[in-house]
């Protein structure tokens, strides 16, 4: 499998994913939204939750077999499972069915398709590692929300995303960052608004680079994790994801934290999130993280596409 090509195919996947959900929506009143999914399928849920913060619609990300008690027939539920066989997601799906929620499944098939019943199913292409199918797991949900007038997803915004992904500067930057992170344990920090992006970086490094990585957000880390820098530790490299539009208070918080970290001898890599919209920034920096994790995996001497340990673990659970 040419895993680098899968990453590079993101612009094409975005165009294709949008077409898959054209015209899709549900009928009736929607009071809240639940998005359920784990791993590569679940990160799309975190991104949707981030985007919905700019609306008045309550949203809950679910990464469990059970569901919140508030779910009812006025809840819009996105059930996201690339394989269609994720145990926790299947159990959650059965629970939301009982609540007669408005359900839209996003999957490539599996048991989820078989038991979908009257639920709407958006079928996405098979044969990809779930983490590399992020466009197919995210954009159909965004199109549905656009159709329901909950968010706006314009053609101009999509074109700006695709244009940003073609920038050679991103590829050069990914190579540079992979050199900085090689032999280190990355600690990914961001503002809460970009927590989903920091989480994606962590997951990509775990799966593609086959190594530990951890993430946290300002200002939570200033109330606990910052104390760990009382002890010098040369094995870490901090990556700070910064937004060019961070407010002055956040900028000061980041600068002070950076000073503390550097004083203890821990290297810091800063990445500025730029773009005309929140979605442009999110997708661009996720793409950068995926490329970085690929190159880091190559430097680690591993196959970035391989996830045998996860597959064997799932088999033992059956």
Catalytic positions are 207, 223, 314
Asked whether the CA dihedral 221, 224, 230, 234 is positive or negative, the reply is negative
Number of Cβ atoms within 10 Å of the Cβ of 149: 8
The alpha helices in 193-299, defined as continuous H runs, are: 195-208, 248-263, 278-299
The pair phi, psi for residue 218, each rounded to 5°, is -75, 140
Element (H, E) at 18: helix 10-20
Would you give the end-to-end CA distance of the chain in angstroms?
Answer: 27
Asked whether the CA dihedral 18, 20, 22, 27 is positive or negative, the reply is negative
Helix (H, G, I), strand (E, B) or coil at 64: coil
d(CA 273, CA 188): 14
Cα–Cα distances (Å) from 207 to 92, 167, 300, in that order, read 25, 25, 12
Q: Where are the beta strands (DSSP E) in 48-194?
A: 59-62, 75-81, 102-107, 120-123, 185-190
Closest-CA residue to 75 (of 104, 42, 45, 54): 104
d(CA 58, CA 72): 14
d(CA 3, CA 138): 20
The alpha helices in 28-78, defined as continuous H runs, are: 39-52
């Amino acid at each position: 499998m040419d895993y680098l090509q899968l990453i590079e195919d993101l612009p094409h996947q975005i165009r294709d994913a949008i077409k898959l959900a054209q015209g899709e929506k549900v009928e009736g009143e929607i009071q809240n939204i639940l998005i359920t999914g784990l791993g590569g399928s679940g990160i799309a849920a975190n991104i949707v939750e981030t985007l919905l913060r700019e609306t008045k619609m309550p949203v809950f990300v679910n990464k469990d077999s059970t569901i919140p008690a508030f779910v009812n027939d006025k809840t819009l539920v996105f059930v996201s499972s690339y394989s269609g066989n994720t145990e926790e997601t299947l159990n959650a799906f059965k629970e939301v069915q009982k609540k007669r929620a408005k359900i839209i499944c996003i999957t490539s098939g599996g048991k989820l398709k078989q038991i979908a019943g009257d639920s709407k199913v958006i079928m996405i292409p098979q044969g990809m590692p779930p983490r590399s199918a992020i466009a197919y797991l995210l954009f159909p949900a965004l199109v549905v929300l656009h159709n329901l007038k909950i968010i706006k997803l314009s053609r101009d915004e999509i074109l700006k995303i695709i244009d940003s992904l073609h920038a050679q500067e991103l590829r050069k930057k990914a190579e540079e960052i992979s050199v900085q992170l090689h032999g280190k344990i990355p600690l990914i920090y961001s503002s809460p608004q970009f927590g989903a992006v920091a989480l994606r970086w962590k997951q990509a490094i775990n799966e593609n680079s086959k190594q530990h990585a951890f993430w946290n957000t300002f200002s939570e880390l200033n109330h606990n994790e910052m104390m760990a820098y009382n002890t010098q530790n040369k094995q870490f490299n901090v990556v700070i994801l910064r937004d060019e539009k961070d407010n002055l208070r956040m900028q000061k918080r980041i600068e002070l934290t950076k000073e503390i970290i550097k004083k203890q001898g821990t290297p810091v890599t800063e990445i500025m999130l730029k773009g005309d919209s929140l979605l442009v920034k999110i997708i661009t920096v996720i793409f950068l993280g995926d490329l970085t994790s690929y190159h880091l995996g190559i430097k680690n001497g591993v196959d970035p596409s391989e996830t045998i340990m996860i597959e064997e673990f799932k088999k033992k659970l059956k």
